[in-house]
Chains A and B, each alone.
Chain A
Amino acid sequence: MSLADVAATVAEHLKVHGIDVVVVGGSAITSHVPTVYTSMDVDFAITSDANRRQITTALKELGFEPKGRIFVHPDTEYTVDFVAEPPSIDRELVYEFAEIQTSFGRFRVLKLEDAIADRVAAFLHWSDSEALDVAQRSAAAARDRLTWERIDASLQKLDTKLPDSAMRMNIARGRLRRALDGK
């Protein structure tokens, strides 16, 4: 099973229990461009009322067991986690998502441009160059289905009030531009 298959299986099952989720973080990148970045955990944000006990009960029906804060399954190497925050990019809440269809069902996921902006946020706030590299390679891999306007709109959600963050944003913008231009 791929990460997308696991995400779809879990999301569809949780939906039966009235729990709505969205794939976020690195797993959102893997969902859109699996060749660029391999996340081994599926990060879900919850968009409906649900507590940890309800989620645990539902996931146990699928064979997942809690292990600390994550859930593990004997038949898959992917782990499942539920982040504390609602779906957001750098504290800016996100309400529109993409949907991915798999043979195991469908699941909601951050739009690719938002997932890229989320990686850029890690570069802005943590100087995480690995995240910037993933953002750049994701944009390059998906340049036939992305536009600069869409990426730019997502980047506008990021906080660049601090001078150091603004400088890093300039670096990130340059890299993403070049990625879309195929350079």
Chain B
Amino acid sequence: MDDKLFGSATRTDTLIVVGRLQRTYVTEIAQILQRRIIEIQRAVASLERAGVIVGTRVGTTRLIELNPLFTAKTELYALLLRMSEMPLYANRWAKIRRRPRAISKPL
């Protein structure tokens, strides 16, 4: 599949990370994709302008997720989830924990 499906490889990769993780932030995306933060910031800004993703500030962190009001959000999510399982991406998620951890338990 063309890695420039969503305009550029960085935009495509960023969108796949957002889809896979559902809620994430620029630094995390940059770490997962091993790209510079400025590249991810530019991709996020352009995807926000397109109305595909939205950002919400929580404390000092700006959380990014697919725009729930985007017309084809469900279809887009299905595509991104499927793409995130492609060999190019599949191993990137294996160590990413998202489930809650009870207070006072060791990390």
Please list the residues of chain A having a beta carbon within 8 angstroms of any beta carbon in chain B: 40-41, 67-70, 79, 81, 122, 125-133, 163-164, 167-168, 171, 174
- Bound CA span A131–B101, Å: 13
A residues within 8 A CB of B77? Answer: 164, 167
Shortest CB-to-CB span from B99 to chain A, Å, is 4
Contact A126 B99 (CB under 8 A): yes
With contacts A167-B77, A168-B81 known, is A130 near B104, CB below 8 A?
no
Contact B98 A129 (CB under 8 A): yes
Contact A127 B85 (CB under 8 A): no
B residues within 8 A CB of A171? Answer: 81-82, 85
With contacts A129-B93, A171-B81 known, is A79 near B99, CB below 8 A?
no
A residues within 8 A CB of B106? Answer: 40-41, 79
SS class, residues of chain A in contact with chain B: helix
Contact B104 A67 (CB under 8 A): yes
Closest Cβ neighbor of B104 among chain A residues? A68
Shortest CB-to-CB span from A81 to chain B, Å, is 7
Q: Verify if B100 is at the interface (C-beta below 8 Å from A).
A: yes
Closest Cβ neighbor of A72 among chain B residues? B106
B residues within 8 A CB of A79? Answer: 105-106
With contacts A129-B20, A164-B77 known, is A81 near B96, CB below 8 A?
no
Contact A130 B95 (CB under 8 A): yes
B residues within 8 A CB of A70? Answer: 104-105
- Bound CA span A12–B81, Å: 44
Closest Cβ neighbor of A134 among chain B residues? B94
Q: Verify if B102 is at the interface (C-beta below 8 Å from A).
A: yes
Contact A68 B103 (CB under 8 A): yes
Shortest CB-to-CB span from B104 to chain A, Å, is 3
- Bound CA span A68–B104, Å: 6
14 contacts between A and B (CB under 8 A): A67-B104, A69-B104, A70-B104, A81-B102, A122-B99, A128-B98, A129-B20, A129-B21, A129-B96, A130-B97, A132-B93, A133-B94, A167-B78, A168-B81
